[in-house]
Structure 1
Amino acid sequence: MIVFNALQTSLNAGIGRYSYELAKELYMKNPKKLKIVIRKEDQELFSFARSEDLIIAANIKNSKIRNIYEQLKLPWIIHKKFPDAIIHYPDTMAPLFSKNKVVITIHDLAFKSLKGVFTWKTVWWKNFITNLSIGKADKIIAITKFTKDEILKHYPKISEEKIVVIYNGFNDFSKESIREKNVGDKIKNINKPYILTVSTISPRKNIDGLIKAFNRIKGEVNENLIIVGSNGWMYNEVYKLAEQLELNDRVIFMGKVNDDELKYLYRNAKIFAYLSFYEGFGLPPLEAMSYEIPCLVSDIGSISEVVEDKAIKVTPYSIEEISKYLLEMTRNSHILDRKGMSKHIKKFSWRICAKETFDAVSSINIYL
């Protein structure tokens, strides 16, 4: 038996998506071997599962309450009901007091590799909980080879056999219809071609670098720059930069959008840019590729690994290089093999992710 913790489904964008899609695919393939932990608020999303296969938690209103529940109450509930089950937590934090076997998924170790982009409290907490969790876990899933290398780099005493690389799946929006009624007028009324980026606005995402590069070529291109994503840490600095460069009429901040609006924006984008300094995986470029949009991405870390040779890669630290290739891509729509993109993205499916995850968990020496 596997108990999958999907409490983050609607509390966290990235890990929430991973939790939901993986839990759903695992359950559809192995309904008799899976229980899913969910928030009461998410019951409707998990209507595909029988009620007896759900462990429903009430009053989990935010991540702080979730963390406490996951550490102090949930392990006790699981052990009482399913003493031989293996617990899968979908992020770095393991249930430290669990008497069951434990699997965790590590998406990245950005707090160790990037300096100056997290508060000292965040760095302290992540170091503390990750150190303990890596020791507690019986198996660790790394979502890329890059993430596995990061784990071995920062935790050299860990056995490499304890880590298995399993790529995320992704949602191929291009195969889904767009419900126009869900698309806001601000998006529908876009009347110029545009360069698109989809990312939380925070220092490690390098949105400011993209804006600076765009500023260099603004007089040579007709495209605007559209930025989609929620405000993260230090987001005000990015807004201030656009104002200082007098780009308010050329750089458009859309904020958080719904799935139909995101499909609409992908479908009509001319170029997609994703120039983060650090990612554990880097999902948006795959989403863009599903629409056969030429992508400009960072040449470092997991992004390069995930896109392989199906995107143009630049160093995210060079504004000159970013601007050079942005300009070239606006002028040459055939700069990349678009057919190759469609073939490439088939490597990343939730079906494959679920099968490999189930096999990895099953390899722990407990009869499922």
Structure 2
Amino acid sequence: MRQVVFNALQTSLSGGIGRYCHELSKAIYDQHKVDFKIVIREEDKNSFSFADIKDLIIVKNIKNAKQRNFYEQFKLPKLILKKYPNAVIHYPDTMAPIFAKNKVIITVHDLAFKSVKDAFTWKTTLWKNFITNLSIKKADKIVAITEFTKSEMLKYYPKINDKISVIYNGFNDFSKEHINCNNINKNILDLKDSKYILTVSTISPRKNIDGIIKAFDLIKNKISDYKLVVAGKNGWLYEEVYKIVDNLNLSDRVVFTGGINDDELKFLYKNANLFVYPSFYEGFGLPPLEAMSFKIPTIASNVSSLPEVIQMKECLFDPFDYKEISKLILKIENNQYFKDNIIKNQSQILKSYSWNKCGNNMVKFYLEG
């Protein structure tokens, strides 16, 4: 039986990739088609109760990304070689274990650090370029999460076509899950009786939060009973977004929740009137799919992977044109037939994505050789 060691150390240390680690490892493990070992932090043990303890490699004292990177590069490859010399190692982000003797698979989610100016600090950009260049050479096989991501990789690394396969992410259908209101901050609970437009992302330049704020400002008097809710933690250069809100005198209409837990996220989706995802660049983009599952009309940028994932042209806008964003918001607000048709089509699109399907395709990928 093919043996795979899956590195899930990022599970609660990073947002989207952390969720990818957890959901994909569970979907693969539940199939029992490969001998599957999962590397986790001790703090995340409860989240992996689906796996037998003998199939978990539990690591202590990983508190931050630097400690994780060091462990992944220098300690974990030696441990795997000693205990599982014939295993394939899967690192589910762009960084491969450079000195590993085992065969290595990596998942590449995006190359924003190459394609998007000011996506990260210069130090982070330098590090990501350095480690990605080495990782692409080191990896025996590479998973791209969309055709867009594959095209980005081939743009920068044109000789690796034979290494790459596209396996789409699943998404979390939170709409079927219980919401524990005791686990929700009061400022979020207070939104229950409000009408609001929701966007979910870390506040950083490539997420284009200033674009949705400017679009909202253009139509604030036409949707005077609406608020704009920005759900996500502060990231790189977040201060500029707060300045825009102050300069436009929108402090009473724009709500910043800060970082949120799963119950708060579900609550926000459930009670939102419209979901807008104005990002300049995404390797996949999970939040729009999550929003769709709550039957919220969902619109998003017409760039990067988003048209490929969302599949509905009528729900896409130019993220560089906030007037276009505002017009599409008003069209949904004023045209009930258009709104209902979007929601109906979204239900069909969601059938394309599940972690079960993602896990099944990944197992096939493992077994190919």
TM-score (norm 1): 0.96
Question: Is the contact between residue 112 and residue 119 of structure 2 (CA under 8 Å) also seen in structure 1?
Answer: no
For the aligned residue pairs, the C-alpha RMSD in angstroms reads 1.3
Q: Corresponding residue for 1:195?
A: 197
Q: Corresponding residue for 2:221?
A: 219
Q: Corresponding residue for 1:81?
A: 83
Kindly report which structure 2 residues correspond to 1:305-316, keeping only aligned pairs within 5 A, or say none. Answer: 305-309=308-312, 312-316=315-319
Kindly report which structure 2 residues correspond to 1:247-266, keeping only aligned pairs within 5 A, or say none. Answer: 247-266=250-269
Q: Corresponding residue for 1:17?
A: 19
Q: Corresponding residue for 1:176?
A: 177
Q: Indicate the SS of the match to 2:69.
A: helix
- In 2, Cα distance between equivalents of 1:310 and 1:262: 26
- In 2, Cα distance between equivalents of 1:58 and 1:177: 31
1:280 aligns with 2:298: no
- In 1, Cα distance between equivalents of 2:40 and 2:294: 32
Using the TM superposition, give the Cα deviation of residue 311 of structure 1 relative to its aligned residue in structure 2, in angstroms. 5.6
- Cα distance 1:311–1:83, how it changes in 2: closer, same or farther (>3 A)? farther
Question: Is the contact between residue 6 and residue 38 of structure 1 (CA under 8 Å) also seen in structure 2?
Answer: yes
- In 2, Cα distance between equivalents of 1:265 and 1:151: 35
- In 2, Cα distance between equivalents of 1:332 and 1:261: 29
- In 2, Cα distance between equivalents of 1:259 and 1:346: 22
Using the TM superposition, give the Cα deviation of residue 83 of structure 1 relative to its aligned residue in structure 2, in angstroms. 0.6
Q: Indicate the SS of the match to 2:337.
A: coil
Return the letter of the residue paired with 2:363: F
Q: How many residues align?
A: 363
Q: Indicate the SS of the match to 1:262.
A: helix
Q: Corresponding residue for 1:322?
A: 325
- In 1, Cα distance between equivalents of 2:287 and 2:313: 14
Q: Corresponding residue for 2:294?
A: 291
- In 1, Cα distance between equivalents of 2:43 and 2:267: 28
- In 2, Cα distance between equivalents of 1:133 and 1:334: 49
Question: Is the contact between residue 4 and residue 34 of structure 2 (CA under 8 Å) also seen in structure 1?
Answer: no
- In 1, Cα distance between equivalents of 2:25 and 2:138: 22
- Counterpart among 125, 129, 134 of residue 131 in structure 2: 129
Q: Corresponding residue for 2:303?
A: 300
Question: Is the contact between residue 295 and residue 311 of structure 1 (CA under 8 Å) also seen in structure 2?
Answer: no
Q: Corresponding residue for 2:72?
A: 70
The CA deviation string for residues 133-192 of structure 1, in whole angstroms up to 9 with x for no partner, is 00111110000000000000111122x221000010111011112222223322222232
Question: Is the contact between residue 39 and residue 58 of structure 1 (CA under 8 Å) also seen in structure 2?
Answer: yes
Q: Corresponding residue for 1:138?
A: 140
Q: Indicate the SS of the match to 2:338.
A: coil
1:240 aligns with 2:243: yes
Moved over 4 A (4+): none
Using the TM superposition, give the Cα deviation of residue 242 of structure 1 relative to its aligned residue in structure 2, in angstroms. 0.5
- In 1, Cα distance between equivalents of 2:119 and 2:312: 29
Return the letter of the residue paired with 2:175: S
Q: Corresponding residue for 2:368?
A: 363
Return the letter of the residue paired with 1:179: N
Q: Corresponding residue for 2:92?
A: 90
Q: Indicate the SS of the match to 1:29.
A: coil
Q: Indicate the SS of the match to 2:299.
A: strand
- Counterpart among 343, 348, 362 of residue 348 in structure 2: 343
Return the letter of the residue paired with 1:162: K
- In 1, Cα distance between equivalents of 2:69 and 2:115: 24
Gaps of 5+ in 2: none
- In 2, Cα distance between equivalents of 1:79 and 1:196: 47
- In 2, Cα distance between equivalents of 1:10 and 1:116: 25
- In 1, Cα distance between equivalents of 2:300 and 2:34: 42
- Bigger CA drift: 256-265 or 63-72? 256-265
TM-score (norm 2): 0.96
Question: Is the contact between residue 144 and residue 281 of structure 1 (CA under 8 Å) also seen in structure 2?
Answer: yes
Using the TM superposition, give the Cα deviation of residue 304 of structure 1 relative to its aligned residue in structure 2, in angstroms. 0.9
Gaps of 5+ in 1: none
Q: Indicate the SS of the match to 1:92.
A: coil
- Cα distance 1:257–1:333, how it changes in 2: closer, same or farther (>3 A)? farther
- Bigger CA drift: 104-113 or 39-48? 39-48
Question: Is the contact between residue 139 and residue 361 of structure 1 (CA under 8 Å) also seen in structure 2?
Answer: no
- In 1, Cα distance between equivalents of 2:126 and 2:178: 44
- In 2, Cα distance between equivalents of 1:153 and 1:134: 13
Using the TM superposition, give the Cα deviation of residue 310 of structure 1 relative to its aligned residue in structure 2, in angstroms. 7.1
Using the TM superposition, give the Cα deviation of residue 203 of structure 1 relative to its aligned residue in structure 2, in angstroms. 0.3
- In 2, Cα distance between equivalents of 1:40 and 1:358: 26
Question: Is the contact between residue 146 and residue 301 of structure 1 (CA under 8 Å) also seen in structure 2?
Answer: yes
- In 2, Cα distance between equivalents of 1:331 and 1:58: 54
- In 2, Cα distance between equivalents of 1:188 and 1:120: 38
Question: Is the contact between residue 183 and residue 263 of structure 2 (CA under 8 Å) also seen in structure 1?
Answer: yes
Question: Is the contact between residue 310 and residue 341 of structure 1 (CA under 8 Å) also seen in structure 2?
Answer: no
Using the TM superposition, give the Cα deviation of residue 121 of structure 1 relative to its aligned residue in structure 2, in angstroms. 1.4
Q: Corresponding residue for 1:186?
A: 187
